[in-house]
Structure 1
C-alpha cells in the first residue's frame, strides 16, 4: 500500500518578541537550519559543519533550547554525547515585530530578516558554484527567475499565500527514487518608480 502524504502540514513555530530575541543571532539561525535540514547533531558536529568552535555551538544550542527551538535527541547519543534536534519544522515571522514599541524587539526583528536574506544569498551562491556537478536534469529543474507585477497589497498577499499552499502541497510526498532536498526561496516586495 503506498504511503500517504501528511495532511497535517509542517509543525511551525510562530515567533513572539521573546522567542525572536532568543533566535535572532546569525549562528543560532544557521544551527537551527542545519538541524532542520540535516537532522540531529552534536555541538561538535555542528561546529565542524559551520566552521565554529564547539564551545560556541554548545552555548548557542543551550540558548536555543531555553527558548524552545531545540531539544535533546537521546536516541542518537552514545555515552556522554549530547545530541540535539529541532523541535519545529519551520518558523513563522510576524512582521508586526518590525514595528514593536520595544527597540530590542525591533532590532532583533531587523537582524532576523536580514540574516534570512543573507542565508538565501549564500544558498543561491553555493548552487551557482556547484551547479556543474549536478545532472542536466537537476540543472534544468532549478530556477532563478524574477517577475514584476502590478498588484494591490491584497493581491500580493493572495499570491504569496497561494504559492505557499502550492509548495506545501509537495512537502510530504512519499519518498521517490532520485529525490533530493530542494530549497525554494520566495521574496515579494513593492518597488517605487515603475
Structure 2
C-alpha cells in the first residue's frame, strides 16, 4: 500500500474507476482484502476473463497493484488496492472540458451506485429486514453553514465513518455482515 488517501486529479484515472464492475472490484478489494480474478469473479458473478480485463484497467490507472507475495505459484495473480481511500473534487477538473465532463458523469454514476445500495435494502423481503431491527437508519438535517463549516462537518463525519470502517473486527464468534453507509452534504433548499 502506498498512502492512506489517493486524491484523483487525472480524468483518465477517474474514468477508469467509474465503470460499475471496476467500482465493485475496488469495493471488494477494500472490504475483503487482496483477491485473485477467480475469487473476485465468484463474488461478482462476472466471468473470470471479464474480471481480469477490469483488473488490468485498474492496475494501468494505478488504483490496484499485484501482490506477488500471496501467490502460491507463478500462474496465480493476486491484486490489492494501492490506497484504502479514493477521493476527487470536481473543481480539480474545472479547467479541462473533457475532464469536467468525466467528473460530472462519475458524480452521477456514484450517486446512482450509492442510492442503489439503499434501494436494494428497501426492496428486501420483510423477513430479511426483520433480521436487522435496530441498525439500519436514515438521517437528514438542514444546516446553515459556510463552505468552510460544511468542510469541517464533512471531516467529522468522515472521521467517524473511517473509525468504524478501519477498526479491527472483533474475533468474538458473532456473525458480522457487510453494511454500506454514505453521507452527502450539498447546498439546497427545502
Shorter-chain TM-score range: 0.7 to 0.9
**Cα distance in 1, alignment partners of residues 31 and 167 from structure 2:** 16
Q: Which protein has greater RCO, CA pairs closer than 8 Å, 6+ apart?
A: 1
Indicate the residue corresponding to 1:113 in structure 2.
107
Structure 2: which 5+ residue stretches go unaligned?
Answer: none
3-state SS of paired residue (1:139): coil
Structure 1: which 5+ residue stretches go unaligned?
Answer: 1-9
Paired residue for 1:16, among 9, 13, 17? 9
1:190 aligned to 2:183? no
Indicate the residue corresponding to 1:66 in structure 2.
60
1:81 aligned to 2:76? yes
**Cα distance in 1, alignment partners of residues 82 and 116 from structure 2:** 24
Paired residue for 1:41, among 20, 23, 35? 35
Indicate the residue corresponding to 1:90 in structure 2.
85
Is 1:72–1:84's contact at 8 Å kept on the other side of the alignment?
A: yes
Alpha-carbon shift at residue 171 of structure 1 (Å): 4.1
Q: Cα RMSD over matched residues?
A: 2.6
Spell out structure 1 runs of 4+ moving beyond 6 A.
none
TM-score (norm 1): 0.78
**Cα distance in 2, alignment partners of residues 69 and 187 from structure 1:** 24
**Cα distance in 2, alignment partners of residues 20 and 96 from structure 1:** 13
Alpha-carbon shift at residue 183 of structure 1 (Å): 2.8
Indicate the residue corresponding to 1:126 in structure 2.
120
**How is 1:94-105 mapped onto 2 (pairs within 5 angstroms)?**
94-99=89-94, 101-105=95-99
Alpha-carbon shift at residue 134 of structure 1 (Å): 6.2
3-state SS of paired residue (2:29): helix
1:163 aligned to 2:160? no
Is 1:97–1:109's contact at 8 Å kept on the other side of the alignment?
A: no
The number of aligned residues is: 182
Q: Indicate the larger mover: 171-180 or 148-157.
A: 171-180
TM-score (norm 2): 0.79
Is 1:24–1:109's contact at 8 Å kept on the other side of the alignment?
A: no
Alpha-carbon shift at residue 135 of structure 1 (Å): 6.5
Residues 13-36 of structure 1, C-alpha deviations (whole Å, 9 max, x = no match): 110124324323222222111211
1:171/1:51 CA distance change after superposition, 3 Å: closer
Residues 19-64 of structure 1, C-alpha deviations (whole Å, 9 max, x = no match): 3243232222221112111222222333343233332221221121
